[in-house]
Amino acid sequence: MRGYCWAICSVLLVTASQLALRGAASQLHAFTLSALAAMSIPLLLLLVTGLAGYLLSMICWMTALRHLPLSRAYPVLSLSYILVWGFALVLPLNHERFQWGSLPGVVMIVVGVYLIVKSPNEAKQNG
């Protein structure tokens, strides 16, 4: 169970990082040294927060891999696709639009993660 907690921590951090980097990138006209030097302090903090979140996410991920086989841990990462998608729709900073065609993909990811992560004992009892 501890491995899944670390994996979920990694997913939450990478989700927050993606959203922070998207916020920073949407305000940045070019990714050059001069553009970075001209960034406002809040925008620079958003960029640094996103990058630091990725670093912390990798630390959590490496810890998760100490406790879980890769075949069980890796599918959990796909939950970040759903979280980023959902938060991008809800947070006003991103200006994303909902599309009904995305919903089947989200459902397939959730079902797929459940089927892969479900313990073998549960599969025997249900099958």
pLDDT band at 127 (very low <50, low <70, confident <90, very high): very low
Eight-state DSSP code of residue 98: -
Query: How many domains would you assign to the chain?
Result: 1
| Contact by Cβ (8 Å): 10, 77 | yes
> In which domain, by residue range, is 75 found?
2-126
CA dihedral 17, 20, 25, 31 (to 10 degrees): -60
The answer on pLDDT for 123 being more than 50 is no
| Contact by Cβ (8 Å): 35, 28 | yes
pLDDT at 1: 83
pLDDT tens for each residue of 79-119: 999 999 999 889 877 677 888 988 998 999 889 888 887 76
| Prediction pTM value | 0.80
